[in-house]
Chain A
């Protein structure tokens, strides 16, 4: 295994990415490689550019300069629609399609954009829903679900595309405390399945447990990018120490 891990492939590579909103620089020359089966956690103070960084990866935000490679191919406006089908995204606000039942939320993308067979996809959807404990919600509409259930459906919706990489933008921040665990458990399960993930979260305990690497973003820069143990126990960065002491004793 250890020889294998040395040869791990890079799934996504950000190279000197810069992004501005008007005169505000949000990403300032950021570089980041995400390797296969890695779980990379992004954290840092509000406004540090975490969401923006995540959204540039699947082209929801255009970048100013630099480049993004997906499996070695430079992402551009022509290939982005195809690449998106391999990258799952889970949002803070769930963003289930309100006009569709859970069943159709799960089926519509693989059937319409990947031309998969409907009955096969339905079987797969039911299997996933069972794994995540929401099989009884197949015919419900999003507004009939709790926040935790919505977010688990959103995760399954991404999984239906058989993603190569999954992005999470504060997946538990809009949830009541008692529902956070069920969503974190779902993500733990993905991590044990070997899913490559980039996760923005303030759940530091969770990060410590699942992350292979943690990045600290502040002031449009990736200030710290290191393995999880070093990040929490052995950092030299004063700002990160400050951040951790605030967030861990909160």
Chain B
């Protein structure tokens, strides 16, 4: 038994629908987890009063326990009390888990900004919230952009856990194809290759973004447009 192109062709619709579902969950989770992560990072950055302490406890719990345990907890535990679909629970799990990692990244970024930036803002009459929104988060975001985009790749891989709660994403489909074809080499190699393509797509987007952020290029561009 070895790699077999016929299996790829025959089961391509399954690979494809799995890929689309993986993409859909990853995209939604990436957007919400990023917003959530920035929010939690900003709250946990401040002196840990009551809210800060709660947020730090949340971040610790979701970073230091397995994602699958969290998914089961939400899907079997919490959905007894709140009736939402497996898909929504899946997104919630990914957002809470990966959002906690993003929050830590953002907090690190915020802590690396010189205190003088906040002091200058306060001296001009800005309050803490405005200082965060106008100065600290934009600067932190730029510093940690690479790490956050790495998290996007991780989120794509994390969607494979959703197969355990009846979501027919790519890994689930690879399992199915293996069950029908009895050819694990082909089933999982193609699945893996598709994940790899998604990874390179994210890296490509990262390169584009970092070029846009690169000050040197910005100067060159301004020079061009001035000329």
Q: Which residues of A contact B (CB under 8 A)?
A: 58-60, 81-82, 84-85, 87-89, 91, 93-100, 108-109, 112-114, 139, 141, 143-144, 154, 157-158, 161
Contact = CB atoms under 8 A, between A and B. Distances in A.
- 6 closest A-B pairs by CB: A95-B120, A95-B116, A85-B125, A109-B124, A89-B123, A113-B125
B117 A97 contact: yes
A100 B130 CA distance: 15
Given A96-B120, A112-B126, A154-B120, 15 more contacts: A60-B122, A81-B125, A84-B124, A85-B124, A89-B120, A91-B120, A94-B116, A95-B119, A97-B117, A99-B138, A99-B142, A108-B134, A109-B125, A113-B126, A144-B215
A95 B124 CA distance: 12
B80 interface: no
Contacts of B114: 93, 95
Nearest to B219: A144
A85 B127 CA distance: 11
Given A82-B125, A93-B114, A108-B134, A139 B222 contact: yes
Contacts of B135: 97, 99-100
B160 interface: no
Given A93-B114, A95-B117, A87 B219 contact: no
Q: What is the interface of chain B mostly: helix, strand, loop, or mixed?
A: helix
Contacts of A143: 215
B119 to A, nearest CB: 6
Contacts of B116: 91, 93-95
A97 B120 contact: yes
Nearest to B138: A99
Contact of B124 (A59, A82, A99, A161): A161
Contacts of A112: 126, 130, 134
Contacts of B121: 97
15 contacts: A84-B124, A85-B125, A88-B123, A89-B123, A91-B119, A91-B120, A94-B116, A95-B116, A97-B120, A99-B138, A112-B134, A113-B124, A113-B125, A141-B215, A154-B120
B119 A109 contact: no
A168 to B, nearest CB: 12
Interface string B95-130: 000000000000000000010110111111111001
Contact residues on B (Cβ < 8 Å of other chain), bracket: 20 to 34
Nearest to B142: A99
Interface string B191-227: 0000000000000000000000001000100100000
Given A112-B130, A143-B215, A58 B123 contact: yes
A44 B15 CA distance: 75
B150 interface: no
Given A112-B134, A139-B222, A144-B219, A84 B123 contact: yes
A245 B122 CA distance: 38
A88 B114 CA distance: 20
Contacts of B178: none
A158 B219 CA distance: 27
A108 B138 CA distance: 14
B175 interface: no
B127 A157 contact: no
Contacts of A85: 124-125
B139 interface: yes
Contacts of A89: 119-120, 123
Given A141-B215, A143-B215, A98 B117 contact: yes
Interface in B112-169: 114, 116-117, 119-127, 130, 134-135, 138-139, 142
A81 B125 CA distance: 5
Nearest to A60: B119
Nearest to A84: B125
Given A97-B117, A98-B117, A84 B134 contact: no
A96 B135 CA distance: 10
Contacts of A109: 124-126
A157 B127 CA distance: 17
Contacts of B119: 60, 89, 91, 95
Contact of B139 (A59, A91, A95, A98): A98
Contacts of A100: 135
